[in-house]
Amino acid sequence: MNLDAAIQTFLAESRELLDNMEEVLLQLESHPGSECDINAIFRAAHTIKGSAGLFGFDDIVKFTHKVENLLDRLRDKHTRLDADCIALLLTSCDYIRVLVDAVSNSQPLSTEAQTTWNELARRLDVHLGIAQPAHAEPSPLPSAGATLPMNEELLSELNTADYAWHVSVRFGRDVLREGMDPLSFIRYLGTVGDIVHLTTIMDGLPSPEEMDPESCYLGFEIRLCTQADKAAIESVFEFVRDDCTLRILPPRSKYSEYIQLINELPEDTTRLGEILVKSGALTQGELDRSLNADGNQSEIGSTAPEQGQLGDILVRDGVVTPSLVHAAQDKQQQAREHKSQESRFIRVEADKLDQLINLVGELVIAGAGTQLLAKRAGVGDVLESASTICRLLEEVRNNALGLRMVQIGGTFQRFQRVVRDISHELDKDVELVISGADTELDKSVVERIGDPLMHLVRNSMDHGIESRELRIKARKPAKAKLTLNAYHDSGSIVLEVSDDGGGLNRERILKKARERGLVGETQLLTEQDTYNLIFEPGFSTAQQISNLSGRGVGMDVVKRSIESLRGSVELLTKEGVGTTVRIRLPLTLAIIDGFLVGVGNHRYVIPLDMVLECVEMPELERKVAGREGHVTLRGKVLPFLRLRHMFELGGDAGQRENIVVVQYAGHKIGLVVDSLLGEFQTVIKPLGKLFSQLRGFGGFTILGTGEVALILDVPALITAMTQDMRGNQSEGRSQDDSTEDMAVAA
Band (pLDDT 50/70/90 cuts) for residue 660 is very high
What pLDDT, on a 0 to 100 scale, did the predictor assign at position 96? 92
Segment among 212-216, 422-426, 549-553 with least mean pLDDT? 549-553
Helix (H) / strand (E) element for 636: namely strand 636-642
Mean pLDDT of 361-381: 84
**364: confidence class by pLDDT, cuts 50, 70, 90:** confident
- Of 170-179, 276-285, 440-449, 458-467, the poorest mean pLDDT is in 276-285
CA–CA separation, 628 vs 651, rounded Å? 17
pLDDT digits (tens, 9 = 90+) for 26-48: 888 877 665 557 888 888 888 88
CA atoms of 299 and 281, how far apart (whole Å): 20
- What pLDDT sits at residue 728? 57
Is the pLDDT assigned to residue 583 strictly greater than 60?
A: yes
According to the model, what pLDDT value does residue 10 have?
A: 85
Q: How confident is the model at residue 285 (pLDDT cuts 50, 70, 90)?
A: low
Q: Predicted confidence band at 149 (pLDDT cuts at 50, 70, 90)?
A: very low
* Coil, strand or helix at 507: helix
pLDDT over 70 at 271, yes or no: no
Residues 125, 131 contacting (CB under 8 angstroms):
yes
Residue 156 has pLDDT above 80, yes or no: no
Which residue did the predictor score with more confidence, 644 or 275?
644
Instruction: Say what the pLDDT of residue 624 is.
Output: 65
Q: What is the pLDDT of residue 425?
A: 87
pLDDT at residue number 536: 79
Given this model, what pLDDT does residue 229 score?
Answer: 82
Kindly tell me the sign of the dihedral angle through the C-alpha atoms of 510, 511, 517, 521: positive
- Of 144-148, 437-441, 610-614, 737-741, give the lowest mean pLDDT range: 144-148
pLDDT at 1 over 70: no
Strand partners, 701: 709
Which range has the worst mean pLDDT, 141-145, 178-182, 248-252, 259-263?
A: 141-145
Min mean pLDDT across 93-102, 156-165, 468-477 is at: 156-165
Lowest pLDDT segment from 51-55, 382-386, 522-526: 522-526
pLDDT at 590: 66
Instruction: Place 486 in a pLDDT band, splitting at 50, 70 and 90.
Output: very high
Provide the 8-state DSSP code for 665: T
8 Å CB contact between 17 and 44: yes
Amino acid letter, residue 24: V
Residue 552 pLDDT more than 60?
Answer: no
Tens of pLDDT along 236-267?
A: 888 888 888 898 988 877 766 777 777 777 76
Residues whose CB falls within 8 Å of the CB of residue 257, separated by 6 or more in sequence, listed in order: 249
Q: Is residue 347 scored above 80 in pLDDT? A: no
Q: Are 482 and 435 in contact (CB under 8 A)?
A: no
Bigger pLDDT: 630 or 132? 630
**DSSP-assigned states of every residue in 365-418:** HHHHHHHHHHHHHT-HHHHHHHHHHHHHHHHHHHHHHHHHEEETHHHHHTHHHH
- Band the pLDDT of 159: cuts 50, 70, 90: very low
- Residue 150: what pLDDT? 37
- Give yes or no for residue 518 having a pLDDT over 50: yes
Beta-carbon contacts of residue 649 (< 8 Å; ≥ 6 apart): 599, 600, 602, 643
Does the pLDDT at position 620 exceed 60?
Answer: yes
**Residue 435 clears pLDDT 70, i.e. is over it:** yes
* Section 279-304 average pLDDT: 48
Whether 735 shows a pLDDT value over 50: the answer reads: no
Q: How confident is the model at residue 541 (pLDDT cuts 50, 70, 90)?
A: low
Is pLDDT of 309 > 60? no
Average pLDDT in the chain: 76
DSSP structure class, residue 536: S
Cα–Cα distance between 607 and 591 in angstroms, integer?
10
Average pLDDT over residues 378-388: 87
Residues 704, 710, 716, 722: is their CA dihedral positive or negative? Answer: negative
State yes or no: pLDDT of 105 exceeds 80: yes
Q: Is the pLDDT of residue 517 over 60?
A: yes
Averaged pLDDT for residues 322-334:
52
pLDDT category of residue 739 using cuts at 50, 70 and 90: very low
DSSP for 11-38? HHHHHHHHHHHHHHHHHHHHS---HHHH
The predicted pLDDT at position 579 comes to: 92
Model confidence at 348: pLDDT above 80: no
- Say what the pLDDT of residue 44 is: 87
Would you state the pLDDT for residue 334?
52
**What percent of the chain lies above the pLDDT cut of 70?**
76
Q: In terms of Cα–Cα distance, which of 723, 729, 595 is closest to 662?
A: 595
Over residues 382-395, the mean pLDDT reads 87
Q: pLDDT at position 433, please? A: 92
Q: Is residue 670 a contact partner of residue 638, using CB atoms and an 8 Å limit?
A: yes
The pLDDT, as a whole number, for residue 175 is 85
Dihedral sign for Cα atoms in the order 288, 292, 296, 302: positive
**What pLDDT score does 188 carry?**
84
- Sequence-ordered list of residues with C-beta below 8 angstroms from that of 11, at least 6 positions apart, any chain: 100, 103, 104
